[in-house]
Structure 1
Amino acid sequence: MRFLNPMIVVSDMEKSKQFYYEVLGLEVVVDFGANVTLTGGIALQTKDTWSNFIHKQNSEFFFGGNVAELYFEEDDFDGFIQKINNIEGINYVHTIVEHSWGQRVIRFYDPDKHIIEVGENITMVVKRFLNSGLSIEETAIRMDVSVDYIKSCLE
């Protein structure tokens, strides 16, 4: 048994493909029309075909449940923020927050209200702290991880 990829149901395939490309840079790898696989392994399935597969009516689908997310990491987090600030229509769950371990993240919805989280690559968090003058040991304390973990991020 092996896990292949997550699949999310979308109401408008073309709009979803455009969103994932424009906002996250994901490209179509395979396009079967009603089912599309994007770079990174995310699959999109149209709501109509999905309802047939699982023998449910379209009226039984509810988008925007806020119970799951697709998680991405970005090396150039500040550059990504600048990019999405120039895209109209982004519907934010929240603006930038910094978690207790120092990683900055932002969450927003895709066109069907699936949550997308983009976090600062954790190695970049380590480098940001070290560049700010913290030692390896101080960075480990700040991030609540081991010194060995910090060192592994630098290899």
Structure 2
Amino acid sequence: MKLKNPMLVVRDIDQSVEFYNRVFGLHVIMDFGANKTLTGGLALQTAETYQEFIGDRAISFGGNSFELYFEEDDFDQFADRLKGFQVDYVHPVKEHRWGQRVVRFYDPDRHIIEVGENMKAVCRRFLASGMTPDQVAVRMDVPMKFVNACLR
């Protein structure tokens, strides 16, 4: 058994393809019309065809119980670039207790998207600020092995 792809049900597949291309640079690598797979493995399925798959069950959007998670090496650049898009934010950029900065927003079908600062970048940011490796490990709640790997 092998997990292949996360698949999102979307109302307008062309609008979703455009969104994921503009915001993340993802491109269609397989196009089956009502189902498209994007670079990175994200699959999109039209709501009409998915409804056929599941029968009379309702499709709900915006349940706030699932998210797609992306990591970004240059988080500041991404957060600045994101301001140029018309996105509905779940919350603005915030820093979690372990130091990782994240932003969450909705795609056109109200699926939550989280973009987080790459954890190695968080580690390097703390080290560059003058923290010792031991202090970074405590601040991030990670093993020293992770901090040492970031030093390489």
Q: Which residue among 82, 88, 91 is the counterpart of 1:94?
A: 91
Deviations 1:51-72 (A, max 9, x none): 0011136xx2210000000000
Structure 1 length normalisation: TM-score?
0.95
Correspondence for 2:64: 66
Alignment of 1:2-151 (within 5 A): 2-56=2-56, 60-87=58-85, 89-151=86-148
CA RMSD for the aligned pairs? Answer: 1.0
Deviations 1:112-134 (A, max 9, x none): 00000000000000000000001
Structure 2 letter corresponding to 1:65: G
Measure, in 2, the Cα distance between the counterparts of 1:62 and 1:144: 37
Shift of 1:151: 1.0
1:123/1:154 contact within 8 Å kept: no
Identify unmatched segments of 5+ residues in structure 2.
none
Deviations 1:31-90 (A, max 9, x none): 111000011101000000000011136xx2210000000000000100001111111x20
1:20/1:26 contact within 8 Å kept: yes
1:140/1:146 contact within 8 Å kept: yes
Structure 1 runs of 4+ aligned residues shifted over 6 Å read: none
Identify unmatched segments of 5+ residues in structure 1.
none
Tell me how many residue pairs correspond in the alignment: 152
- SS of 2:40's equivalent in the other structure is coil
Give the % identical residues. 55
Structure 2 length normalisation: TM-score?
0.97
Structure 2 letter corresponding to 1:75: D
1:35/1:46 contact within 8 Å kept: yes
Measure, in 1, the Cα distance between the counterparts of 2:113 and 2:127: 28
